[in-house]
Copies of this chain bind each other. A is one copy, B any other.
């Protein structure tokens, strides 16, 4: 068991020692800029490409405090509104110019991130006021477009606790975040042609407008804006360009003189203004704060980098063609984005807060909330994007994750995305978009599905690999079932069903050549190798897929298949159970485990019941013997969860170590470890930890499930790893979105959109006190409060059309009828 008290980034503030904490701002498919624990801007990734470590020079917030109108340097204090650098302070030339590490900063900063809402407090005994920062990008559940705005609200708030009136200025300096050619190894961008930056004012929206040089069809092209609706502003629209630190020295001279900014009177002190390099501007917001007064300073950062390469990788067909980001079909430029957000901020913020309050205000265990909330950031990271395909919604595509400077593993990989649940519940239309792509474009005539959807960018070429993925192909059938059932959209099912039937039929022929309903031929899978012979990963997924397909076949009027699938699921599960259950868990049946490289044999595979996990999530119940499933998932916990990894031996990649706790992918408690076991067997993956944790909870092992969850989130507190970035093969790894399943498992929540039936059966929390949880249906997001026999459902967003409510397996009833819009609460009692 972890010995430290559970502390999470969403429950306890981080100081500036949390150097790896980086809270991402940005919407779905927009790229991100992150805020570090010092309140610093970092990891600029607006260019349709990951960019960890990318930094913009001279981009920081300055606070200036002084008696109103004073020009006495002794009466003023001017600092960068960031916490101090925590160190180490290495660098082959110290901290470089662009970091301005030599300007005074705040002694402490403390950051509390409750995704999507970030708060940072700053303290310094030399500064008479108390500033803080609140930052977010609007997140509207079920609405990928309004959750996909290329923007970040940066709201600084300053309290004047003194008995003196004070003139307080917040000045944001920003280097052009668009138009760069590349990013150097020191993290700073290069510009072969300087962008423009100007002051612009439209109505009550004013601020800086950046435009990249070059044509609008250039991949580097983009616009950005830093705007406000604040009345009293001053600006330095463009810093001095050129030699050494002229620009920043002049900026600092200017603001420290009187707390206000002036435009420079020349472009540069050099003989010729350089035409290359970055351009920097500053926007200052002024207020006079009375004693005891608190004032807001609201900036809006917006960007618009419309052009993506129409391919996954350089060298692929289409790479030189432009495809638009979906957001670019809504807005012509960053200034228009800013206008939309300024105008709609009250509603956008209300939705964001409604959802965040529902999630963080629930009585679910803190570790579950922490994990689920963090997973939302994956959906809005560089891992996911939406391209213009001519439809109103666009085409959703995703990497597995994001390497620091490129996408990691193309094609919305089916076997990785199998685990992810967050989008299915919060942005289900994106998962439907993925399913359409997979079934309509990537299933061949013989039913083989390419597990990487490269045709999402168009073109006929499929991804060339010698094996289909057994877990990916069959899991995608289960996921389609999830999407149909959650949405209740029969048209969606009808559109895809013929392809689903092909994909399922293919499985019999391809993976079960001997017809015993236990898959035994070469089974490529998510460990990037092939399993040989009977094993639970492939077969349990097969039975889950057959169960789901049977229901869909029935609904599609294909009774023959419905029956055939159901019978096969039943018989196969029984046969597999007979062959592979060893009395405690399911094994791989091989005469010689070393006959092939990378098998697991008699080991305890953490993923052995992945198909069962997906079946539980979709209301299919047990697809394999329930007692054996309980035994096996408990065995996974007993053998593979390590409360201290200090003596764990792994020559593979390392995601958890030392005295950290974690669930390893496989172990061999009874011996029989292959000489070269499968290549990730000794690793610890959060995506698998969450799926096992949720599954444990589904089977009644609640404390075991929460123990694993706590272990994960204690590794991601911001001290050793970024709470908003669970890496596997890449940052923001899709598999980590398995964590939303924890909410489902803990609450026993089930929404069947085909029957408009909502069920809840919480297994956590003290039921003698009110239990509350967030929920989503296909059309609504809200919260449910259970208090004794009473149930209250409040709709925060969308419309809830409920036909049936079941709490703790008892039907509930209400006087209210019909669809319920946002802002309304329904009250239920047992029928």
Known: A87-B719, A649-B102. A269 touches B676 (CB 8 A): yes
Task: Give the most central of A93, A100, A650, A721: most B CB within 10 Å.
Answer: A93
Contact with B along A238-257 (1 / 0, CB 8 A): 00000111101110110000
Query: In the complex, what distance in Å separates the CA atom of A365 from the CA atom of B355?
Result: 63
Residues of chain B within 8 A of A253, CB atoms compared: 675
**Does B652 lie within 8 Å of A97, measured CB to CB?**
yes
Q: Which of B248, B250, B402, B647 contacts A126 (CB 8 A)?
A: B647
Residues of chain B within 8 A of A88, CB atoms compared: 19-20, 719-721
Query: In the complex, what distance in Å separates the CA atom of A243 from the CA atom of B596?
Result: 14
Residues of chain B within 8 A of A676, CB atoms compared: 246, 249-250, 269
Residues of chain B within 8 A of A84, CB atoms compared: 646, 657-658
Query: In the complex, what distance in Å separates the CA atom of A395 from the CA atom of B730?
Result: 48
A96 beta carbon closer than 8 Å to chain B = yes
* Shortest beta-carbon distance from A173 to chain B in Å: 11
Q: From residue 243 to 282 of chain A, which have CB atoms closer than 8 A to chain B?
A: 243-246, 248-250, 252-253, 269
Query: In the complex, what distance in Å separates the CA atom of A598 from the CA atom of B249?
Result: 12
Query: In the complex, what distance in Å separates the CA atom of A308 from the CA atom of B803?
Result: 80
Query: In the complex, what distance in Å separates the CA atom of A657 from the CA atom of B100?
Result: 11
**Does A597 lie within 8 Å of B269, measured CB to CB?**
yes
Query: In the complex, what distance in Å separates the CA atom of A99 from the CA atom of B650?
Result: 11
Residues of chain B within 8 A of A19, CB atoms compared: 88
* Shortest beta-carbon distance from A253 to chain B in Å: 6
**Does B102 lie within 8 Å of A651, measured CB to CB?**
yes
A319 beta carbon closer than 8 Å to chain B = no
* Shortest beta-carbon distance from A635 to chain B in Å: 23
Query: In the complex, what distance in Å separates the CA atom of A245 from the CA atom of B403?
Result: 20
Known: A88-B19, A99-B654, A658-B84. A647 touches B93 (CB 8 A): no
Residues of chain B within 8 A of A249, CB atoms compared: 651, 675-676
**Does A100 lie within 8 Å of B651, measured CB to CB?**
yes
Known: A102-B648, A253-B675. A92 touches B653 (CB 8 A): no
**Does B654 lie within 8 Å of A87, measured CB to CB?**
no
A508 beta carbon closer than 8 Å to chain B = no
Which B residue's beta carbon lies closest to that of A270?
Answer: B597
Q: From residue 211 to 251 of chain A, which have CB atoms closer than 8 A to chain B?
A: 243-246, 248-250
Q: Which of B85, B243, B654 contacts A657 (CB 8 A)?
A: B85
**Does B92 lie within 8 Å of A245, measured CB to CB?**
no
**Does B52 lie within 8 Å of A650, measured CB to CB?**
no
A431 beta carbon closer than 8 Å to chain B = no
Contact with B along A487-529 (1 / 0, CB 8 A): 0000000000000000000000000000000000000000000
Query: In the complex, what distance in Å separates the CA atom of A102 from the CA atom of B660?
Result: 12
Query: In the complex, what distance in Å separates the CA atom of A719 from the CA atom of B90?
Result: 10
Q: From residue 712 to 738 of chain A, which have CB atoms closer than 8 A to chain B?
A: 715, 719-722, 727-731
Query: In the complex, what distance in Å separates the CA atom of A96 from the CA atom of B404?
Result: 13
Q: From residue 522 to 565 of chain A, which have CB atoms closer than 8 A to chain B?
A: none
**Does A94 lie within 8 Å of B248, measured CB to CB?**
no
* Shortest beta-carbon distance from A669 to chain B in Å: 14
Known: A92-B727, A721-B89, A722-B90. A102 touches B647 (CB 8 A): no
**Does A649 lie within 8 Å of B402, measured CB to CB?**
no
**Does B720 lie within 8 Å of A404, measured CB to CB?**
no
Known: A679-B244, A720-B89. A94 touches B728 (CB 8 A): yes
Contact with B along A76-104 (1 / 0, CB 8 A): 00000000110111111111110111111
A408 beta carbon closer than 8 Å to chain B = yes
Query: In the complex, what distance in Å separates the CA atom of A652 from the CA atom of B97?
Result: 5
Residues of chain B within 8 A of A401, CB atoms compared: 92
A655 beta carbon closer than 8 Å to chain B = yes
Q: Which of B102, B107, B597 contacts A682 (CB 8 A)?
A: B102
Q: Which of B107, B243, B654 contacts A94 (CB 8 A)?
A: B654
* Shortest beta-carbon distance from A258 to chain B in Å: 15
**Does A20 lie within 8 Å of B653, measured CB to CB?**
no
A185 beta carbon closer than 8 Å to chain B = yes
Known: A269-B676, A403-B92, A657-B101. A245 touches B87 (CB 8 A): no
Known: A269-B676, A727-B91, A728-B93. A85 touches B658 (CB 8 A): yes
Q: Which 10 residue pairs across A and B have the least CB separation, nearest first? A: A102-B650, A101-B654, A95-B654, A94-B655, A87-B720, A102-B654, A248-B651, A244-B679, A20-B88, A94-B653
10 A-B pairs in the complex with CB atoms less than 8 angstroms apart? A88-B721, A91-B727, A92-B401, A93-B403, A97-B653, A102-B649, A102-B683, A185-B405, A245-B679, A250-B675
Apart from A96-B653, A103-B651, A107-B646, list 14 A-B contacts with CB within 8 A: A20-B90, A90-B722, A90-B727, A92-B404, A93-B408, A93-B730, A94-B653, A94-B727, A95-B657, A100-B651, A100-B654, A248-B651, A250-B676, A269-B597
